[in-house]
Each structure stands twice: as C-alpha cells, then as structure tokens.
C-alpha cells in the first residue's frame, strides 16, 4: 500500500508543563474547545491551556500551549471525562461517577452545585432535539445496571428527561437526535429513546474487547467490529460504507474528513472513508486517547498531548498527483467538495482534473486524458503548447503557473520515441477536431484551427481539405508557411481563397497544372480551376485565365462562360460580344458559346443566330468536302444546322442562301427558301434536286405546323402540282402524286384536285383518296347538322326563360329598396335579377354580380 502524508504529528503540551517531574501523574482525559484545551489527570486535577497555532515559513504548523490555571476537584479519584459546553460556558467533568459543572474559564464549580450523579460514562448529543441553544443534552450510562438516562443540562441546573433500560449492560454510548448507539455486552444496537424501539446492529463482545462507538456525522456511527474492523452504521441499522480494516487491538477512533484515524498501542493509522484504503501509518507508542474536536484531532499518551495536523488537502492531492496516483487524487478531491467553499473548490478541482489529464496523457492513456481535459475544461492551448511550433507565432498564450505538468514539450515527454510522438499527434488531431466547434474553443479558435491545419498538413491527412473548405479560423501567414513546407500547394490555394486572395490561389493551381510545382492532391485540378473560374465573381480573373483554360481544352474551358450560375448573370454577366471576340481563336469554344447564347439563353439577336448558323454550315462543309455526296448520312452537325434553320426566325436568310448556293445542301436550301415563304421553290428543290419525295411530304407537314388549314392545303396542292407538272413520262412522280393523294386525302380540296387530275386516271387508282374525301365530307356535314340542332334547342330554352320572366309585372313603390345600395328607386327604371331582386341600373352596372350569389346575374 502506497502511503500519502495526510497528517503530521506535533506536540501540543510538553510533559513538563503538566506534571514537571512527578512521574505518577497521568493524563486521563482531554477536551478541546476552540483555543481552550483541558486536561484531566489521575490525581483529580483539571488543567486549562490556551492553544496557539503557528505556521512556520516551511509550512509546518506548530502549537504552543500556555497554561491558564489548574484546579483540584477535591476528590481522590481520577478525572474520567471532560466535555465543554461553550454555549453555557460550562465544562462537564466526570469524576467519581458524578458529572459536575464548572466554569469554563476559571474552573470554579457553579454555585448551585448542580450535578448528575451515578454516571459511568456520558456523551453529548451533537444533534440535539430540544432546539434550546442554552441547553445541552447529555446521555449517561448509569451505575444502575442496564440503565441509560437522558438529561438536559443548563447553565446552573440539570434535569432528567428520560430513563430507558437496555436488554444488556451498556458499555459505550453515542447520541444522535433520538437515537442512541450503544455497545452492549454482546452486541451493538441502535435505540430510539423516544419510542423505545431498538435495532440490532451486529454482535460484539464488549467484555472481551473495548467497544468503540463514535458518532461521525448526521445519523451515522463508527463502531469497532470483529477482526479489527471499523464498521459504519446508520441509525436505520444499515451500513453505507464498506468497513475499514484496523488492527485487532484498536483503542480509539476519530474522524477528520475524509479520513478515519485509529489508535492502537503502537501506531496511529489513517484510512480514507472514500476508498477504505489505509493511507498513512504513524508510529505512536503508549497512546491511550484519540479524539476529534470539531475537526481537530488530538492524541495523548498518559504523559503528553499531541495534535494530528492535517496537511492541506490540496497539498495531499498534489502529492498524489506527483506520484501519478490519479485515481486516488481524484477521489480525494471529490471527497473534499463539501469541506471547501464552492467557488474555491471548482477552481481547485478543475486544475486537478487538468493535471490528472496530463498525467494520463503522458502515459498515452488518451481516452482517460480526453475525459479529464473535457471535465477539467482545459484551455486547449495548454495541450497544443506541448507540441513544438503548433501554436501560431502570434498567439499570446503562456502556460499556466504553477505548471500543470512537468514537461517542456512532446520531445521530452516521449523521449524522442517517434511512434509515441505520432500517437500523441493523432490524439491531438482528433481532440482538436472534436473541440473546435464546441464552447471550449471560444476565444482561441485561431490557435486551434491553425494547430489542426499544421497537424493535418504534416500527417498528409485528408481532413486538411475539409478544414479549409468549411468555416475555419486558420491564420494565414502561419498556415501558409506550413503548407508550403509540406508542399500542400493545392491546400494553400484553398487557404488563399478562404482569405479572399483568389488571384494567389489561382496562380498556385495553374502552376501545379503546368507542372511548375508538384502537388498531386487532385488529378482533376484543371477541371477544378475551370469550375472555380465559372463561379468566380472576379471578371478580371476570369479574363486573365480564359486563354489558359481554353488552350488546355476548348470544350471544357468555355464552361467558364457558359456554366456561370444564373443569378449571377443579372448583376455581373459578361458582355457576349467581348466573349465572342475572345473566343475567335477557339472555334469549338465559340460554337459552344453561341449555342449557349442562342439555345440555352434564347437571346433574340440576329448576329448570334446567323453567326451560329454560319459556323455550323462551315463545319458541315468541312466535314463533307465532296459535293453531291448523296449517300452521306446526316451528321450530327448537319442535324444541328437544320434544326437551327428550322426553329430560328432570326438569322439572315438571304445571306445564308448565298453561302449555301452550289454546296449541294439541298435540304438546307429548301428550309431557307421555306423561311422566305418560297414553298414552291423549296418543294422543287426537294423533289427535283434532292429527289427525296418523303422529305418533300414532310416539308408540307412541318412547314405548316402551327398554321391554319388553308395554309397547309396550299402546300399540299403546290406539291401535287409539282408532281403532276412533270407529266406522265416521269412515272415515279405520278406514283408519288397518287400516293400523296391517297395518304393525305383530307389535306386536299377534292373539287380542285379532280380538275387537276389527268382524265386517264382510273377511279380504282384513286379509290382510297375518293373514299377518304367522301367520308370526310359526309362527316363534316353531319357534324354541322348536329351543331345546328343543338343550337336551335338551346335557343328554345332561352326563349322559354324569357317568356317566363316577362310573364308577371313588377310593382315599384317607395318601400322597395335597391338591394345593393339600400336606397329607394326614384325613377321607373330598374334592373331585375333572375332571383327577383331589384337594383338600380347604375348599381347593377357598377357591380355585375348578383347581390346574393356569386354567379353573374342575368338582367331582365
């Protein structure tokens, strides 16, 4: 068992002071009350001393006792017991089985001579029930067998209040409220003297071994148990603390929180009530008295009186911490809570937790350390400062004094062990990461984040980037130096960006992409830069790096113009002409940009549309150098061109027709002519140049999209005319004409068609056309008839309503009020709603609603 120094034994009264050289004089009992120290001797003397405490510069306490007086009590018996009742200014003296009251100051017996007779021993009730401050409650073990008596003792009189008999002879007693704790012949019991109810505690043979009954606090007693145990028991007869283990021949016990002190013939032992462990042993021969008086512990032999001075708890705790006994130190500190003012305690306890944390930390017990740092509310910088160079140079931090630990830095703590060092760093990383967003970080977020950045950079940790892209307080200069040192250029760029230095950030990243400096953090850094510029609000920067991104890749680079977020467009968008100007050198990018303007943003500006169409056209022409290559499939680019030509109405048609002339792009030129409403020409091209009859048919359909019926009919008739004009010789076109009629029967005006057709054509041939036309015509007729019928019947219904309403007359009098304005009618003109309500004409005009229904009213 490791010891701590909890008490120091100092002499209080030298033997010379008491008895000089008279050897047969023995100390029988002592009492201490404030500065008053009383000693009773075997030759019936009571001594009164004043006790003066001094603390030497070394921190050790010394006591000097100055004798005030001594008085013989007038018997030939020893003084057995002394108790002071300071409220009454009385000393209770037990001598020759009687308790006398003497003045505390001059030791004179009181004039009334009041006394308690027939007492073997007595105890004061430290938890009195009477509530009278000028009265003490005294319990005696009477000389009468098996009898306990309770007295009220006043300044000059005593009064018996209760006598109880016990089942066996009592040997020792302690009192708390109504509860007596008694050592009987064979056992300890709790006896409620008020109710007489008793409660067995445990067996103990008081005749064999002197019992100890000591009140240690509210409703709790300490008892000598079997096998040298110090047993705790409450008035309820239960034990709330584990016993302490004394020696078999223990003589006395005292309490000085949180310690239990016991005396035997060779030692004073000190146990902690908090963990039941023995904490200290002091050799002390021939001791026979051990008592505590309001926290002051006194031991005495028959010749001298000594005081056990507790070392300050804080000192004890520091001693424990110094020997790395964290657990015990914390138990002791916690146990001291109720003995120290709250504020002071908290400060002390926090510091102890922090110290304990560092002890655990030095042993690499990180979990425990973390918990202690957390509960001790450690200033994280104390921890950071252990790691060389982590605190920013600008930090104002200085370690607390006295220091929380004995280490200069991590190197000393780990003694250079790299593995341990790495573990410590990992711990700090996770710890800082945990606390940085808590209130622990308040006030020194810069220090924490900068340290964390340094750790991450050094360890090549992924979280470095997370730290920099989210809210952080990394100090720029300090961090930049570290990132450079560890070649974290990409991260450095992020840091610059976070500090609104985008230009510096971009320069770094461009250098990385160009291979001027090396940092492989991102393999897609180019795309990252493009993305960055896309969202960059600084136009100058975008212009600065536009050429660079476009040179790397036109398609990707152009995104800095085309992918810009929309909300930004309004306030701070690029002038398209500037961009187009810039993109001249980058044709692919230019196409993409124009597409963006025309298709995505739907800018209705002729130049862009024409420009885009022209670029498409050039591209198409470049792709198919051989003109009239009929079998070539429509390329993607061609499709785009056609699409644009068809959908857009803004480009300069004539300009494009000129460009397209002779290129063999028939379809495209047909579309262009169509734009000019030159449908015949367009269809002619399709039929005769392109020789794509289905394209011609399609043309009729899409060109007339969104137009009225006659417009479409005109197109079909034009096409039919083209087919027929070729004459019967071109039989392909004849077939086409027949098919056209048969497939699109309803698109034609049958009577006109029939006049156009050559007489030679058989009815057979045109059968589908004719039946189609007939059916359509009949259908139209019938539908019209139905419509006429319905309209007629509707008309009839309204006529009926009108007749009904007109059937009765309406009387207008002064009493009839307008339902809207509530005024009478002054003229014989009114409006009547179908529900019968009458209103002024002007009221009805101003509100075309029925006064009582939401549906519009019909006026009659």
Partner 1 sequence: MKKPDVKIVLLGDVNVGKTSLLHRYMERRFQDTVSTVGGAFYLKQWRSYNISIWDTAGREQFHGLGSMYCRGAAAVILTYDVNHLQSLVELEDRFLGLTDTASTNCLFAIVGNKVDLTEEGAAEDQEKEEGCSREAGSSCASAKVSKQVKLEDAVALYKKILKYKMLEEKDMPAAEKMCFETSAKTGYNVDHLFETLFDMVVPMILQKRAEGPPQTVDISNYKQPKQTKSGCCA
Residues lying near partner 1 in the complex (CB under 8 A): 187, 190, 192, 195, 197-204, 225-227, 229, 231, 233-239, 241-243, 245, 276
Q: Which is nearer to partner 1, 103 or 219 (CB)?
A: 219
Q: Which is nearer to partner 1, 139 or 667 (CB)?
A: 139
CB under 8 A, 24+ apart: contacts of 517-523: 517/487, 517/489, 518/487, 518/489, 519/487, 519/488, 519/489, 519/490, 521/465, 521/488, 521/489, 521/490, 521/491, 522/490
CA distance 822 to 786: 48
Nearest of 411, 429, 407 to residue 420 by alpha carbon:
411
Minimum gap (Å) between residue 201 Cβ and partner 1 = 6
Are the C-beta atoms of 305 and 298 separated by less than 8 Å? Answer: yes
Minimum gap (Å) between residue 237 Cβ and partner 1 = 5
Are the C-beta atoms of 452 and 467 separated by less than 8 Å? Answer: yes
* Edge-to-edge strand list for the sheet holding 305-310: 7-13, 305-310, 296-300, 289-293
- The C-alpha angle with vertex 797 and arms to 795 and 799, in degrees rounded to 5, equals 70
CA distance 623 to 626: 9
Secondary structure element (H or E) that encloses residue 417, with its range: none
Q: Which is nearer to partner 1, 198 or 850 (CB)?
A: 198
Minimum gap (Å) between residue 254 Cβ and partner 1 = 20
Neighbours of 847 (CB within 10 A): 11
DSSP per-residue string spanning 154-212: -SS-EEEEEEEE-SS-EEEEEEETTEEEEEESSEEEEEETTT--EEEEEE--TTTS---
Would the CA dihedral through 505, 507, 512, 516 be positive or negative? negative
Q: Which is nearer to partner 1, 226 or 856 (CB)?
A: 226
Q: Please list, residue by residue across 127-141, b when 16 or more beta carbons sit within 10 angstroms of its beta carbon and e when fewer do.
A: ebbeeeeebbbbbbb
Tokens read off for 704:
């007339």
Secondary structure element (H or E) that encloses residue 558, with its range: none
CA 522 to the chain's CA centroid: 31
Residue 432, SS3 per DSSP: helix
Q: Which is nearer to partner 1, 276 or 860 (CB)?
A: 276
Length of the chain measured in residues: 860
Q: Which is nearer to partner 1, 208 or 705 (CB)?
A: 208
Minimum gap (Å) between residue 139 Cβ and partner 1 = 18
Neighbours of 491 (CB within 10 A): 25
Secondary structure element (H or E) that encloses residue 9, with its range: strand 7-13
Tokens read off for 630:
């009929």
CA distance 191 to 167: 11
Report DSSP state, residue 690. I
Q: Which is nearer to partner 1, 225 or 674 (CB)?
A: 225
Tokens read off for 562:
């085309």
Neighbours of 506 (CB within 10 A): 23
Report DSSP state, residue 65. E
Q: Which is nearer to partner 1, 40 or 225 (CB)?
A: 225
Minimum gap (Å) between residue 233 Cβ and partner 1 = 7
Rounded to a whole number of angstroms, the CA Rg of the chain reads 56
Tokens read off for 19:
């008895």
Q: Which residue has the tokens 């009730």?
A: 125
Minimum gap (Å) between residue 222 Cβ and partner 1 = 13
Tokens read off for 438:
């808590």
Are the C-beta atoms of 671 and 682 separated by less than 8 Å? Answer: yes
Tokens read off for 849:
């609603």
Tokens read off for 242:
């584990």
Q: Which is nearer to partner 1, 177 or 834 (CB)?
A: 177
Are the C-beta atoms of 750 and 728 separated by less than 8 Å? Answer: no
Tokens read off for 240:
């709330």
Nearest of 256, 233, 228, 282 to residue 10 by alpha carbon:
282
Nearest of 163, 211, 164 to residue 185 by alpha carbon:
211
Are the C-beta atoms of 671 and 696 separated by less than 8 Å? Answer: no
Q: Which is nearer to partner 1, 241 or 776 (CB)?
A: 241
Residue 525, SS3 per DSSP: helix
Residue 340, SS3 per DSSP: coil
Q: Which is nearer to partner 1, 240 or 539 (CB)?
A: 240
Tokens read off for 712:
């479409």
CA distance 455 to 429: 7
Nearest of 123, 221, 240, 131 to residue 172 by alpha carbon:
123
């Amino acid at each position: 068992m490791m010891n701590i120094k909890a008490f120091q034994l100092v002499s209080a009264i030298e033997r010379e002071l008491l008895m000089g050289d008279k050897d047969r004089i023995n100390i029988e009992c002592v009492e201490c009350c404030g500065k008053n120290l009383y000693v009773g001797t075997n030759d019936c003397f009571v001594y009164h001393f004043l006790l003066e405490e001094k603390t030497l510069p070394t921190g050790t306490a010394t006591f000097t006792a100055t004798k005030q007086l001594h008085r013989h009590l007038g018997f030939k018996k020893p003084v057995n017991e002394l108790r002071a009742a300071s409220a009454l200014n009385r000393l209770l003296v037990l001598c020759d089985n009687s308790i006398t009251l003497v003045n505390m100051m001059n030791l004179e017996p009181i004039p009334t001579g009041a006394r308690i007779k027939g007492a073997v021993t007595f105890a004061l009730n430290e938890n009195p029930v009477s509530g009278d401050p000028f009265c003490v409650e005294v319990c005696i073990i009477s000389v009468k067998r098996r009898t306990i008596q309770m007295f009220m003792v006043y300044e000059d009189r005593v009064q018996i209040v209760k006598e109880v008999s016990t089942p066996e002879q009592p040997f020792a007693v302690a009192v708390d409220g109504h509860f007596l704790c008694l050592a009987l012949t064979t056992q300890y019991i709790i006896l409620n003297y008020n109710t007489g109810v008793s409660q067995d505690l445990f067996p103990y043979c008081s005749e064999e071994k002197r019992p100890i009954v000591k009140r240690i606090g509210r409703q709790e007693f300490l008892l000598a148990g079997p096998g040298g145990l110090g047993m705790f028991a409450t008035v309820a007869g239960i034990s709330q603390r584990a016993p302490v283990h004394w020696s078999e021949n223990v003589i006395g016990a005292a309490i000085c929180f949180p310690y239990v002190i016991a005396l035997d013939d060779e030692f004073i032992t000190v146990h902690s009530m908090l963990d039941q462990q023995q904490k200290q042993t002091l050799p002390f021969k021939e001791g026979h008295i051990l008592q505590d008086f309001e926290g002051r512990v006194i031991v005495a032999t028959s010749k001298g009186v000594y005081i056990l001075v507790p070392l300050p708890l804080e000192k004890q705790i520091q001693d424990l911490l110094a020997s790395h006994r964290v657990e015990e130190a914390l138990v002791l500190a916690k146990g001291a809570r109720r003995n120290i003012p709250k504020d002071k305690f908290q400060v002390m306890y926090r510091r102890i937790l922090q110290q304990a944390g560092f002890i655990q930390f030095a042993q690499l017990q990180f979990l425990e350390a973390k918990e202690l740092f957390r509960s001790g509310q450690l200033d994280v910088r104390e921890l950071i400062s252990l790691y060389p160079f982590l605190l920013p140079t600008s930090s104002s931090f200085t370690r607390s004094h006295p220091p929380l630990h004995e280490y200069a830095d991590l190197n000393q703590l780990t003694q250079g062990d790299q593995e341990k060092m790495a573990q410590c760093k990992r711990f700090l990383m996770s710890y800082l990461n945990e606390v940085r967003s808590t209130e622990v970080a308040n006030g020194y977020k810069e220090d924490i984040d900068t340290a964390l950045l340094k750790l991450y950079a050094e360890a090549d940790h992924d979280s470095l980037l997370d730290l920099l892209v989210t809210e952080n307080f990394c100090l720029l200069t300090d961090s930049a130096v570290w990132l450079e040192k560890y070649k974290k250029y990409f991260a450095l760029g992020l840091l610059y960006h976070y500090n609104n230095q985008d230009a510096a950030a971009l320069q770094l990243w461009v250098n990385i992409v160009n291979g001027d400096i090396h940092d492989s953090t991102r393999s897609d850094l180019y795309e990252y830069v493009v993305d960055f510029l896309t969202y960059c609000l600084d136009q100058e920067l975008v212009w600065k790096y536009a050429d660079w991104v476009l040179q790397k890749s036109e398609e990707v680079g152009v995104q800095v113009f085309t992918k810009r977020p929309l909300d930004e467009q309004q306030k701070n968008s690029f002038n398209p002409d500037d961009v187009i100007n810039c993109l001249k050198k980058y044709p692919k990018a230019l196409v993409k940009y124009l597409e963006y303007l025309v298709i995505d943003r739907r800018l209705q500006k002729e130049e862009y549309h024409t420009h885009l169409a022209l670029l498409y056209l050039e591209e198409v022409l470049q792709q198919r150098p051989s003109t009239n290559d009929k079998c070539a499939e429509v390329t993607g680019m061609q499709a785009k061109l056609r699409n644009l030509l068809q959908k857009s109405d803004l480009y300069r048609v004539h300009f494009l027709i000129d460009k397209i002339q002779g290129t063999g792009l028939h379809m495209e030129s047909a579309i262009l002519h169509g734009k000019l409403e030159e449908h015949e020409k367009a269809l002619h091209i399709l039929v005769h140049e392109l020789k794509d009859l289905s394209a011609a048919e399609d043309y009729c359909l899409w060109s007339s999209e969104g137009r009225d019926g006659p417009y479409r009919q005109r197109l079909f008739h034009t096409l039919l005319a083209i087919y027929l004009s070729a004459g019967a010789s071109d039989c392909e076109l004849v077939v086409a004409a027949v098919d056209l009629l048969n497939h699109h029967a309803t698109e034609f005006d049958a009577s006109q068609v029939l006049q156009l057709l050559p007489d030679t054509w058989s009815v057979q041939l045109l059968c589908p056309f004719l039946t189609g036309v007939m059916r359509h015509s009949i259908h139209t007729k019938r539908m019209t008839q139905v419509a006429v019928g319905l309209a007629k019947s509707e008309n009839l219904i309204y006529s009926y309503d009108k007749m009904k309403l007109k059937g009765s007359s309406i009387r207008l009098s002064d009493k009839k009020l307008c339902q809207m304005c509530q005024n009478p009618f002054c003229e014989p003109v009114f409006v009547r709603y179908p529900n019968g309500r009458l209103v002024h004409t002007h009221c009805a005009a101003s509100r075309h609603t029925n006064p009582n229904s939401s549906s519009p009213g019909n006026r009659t």
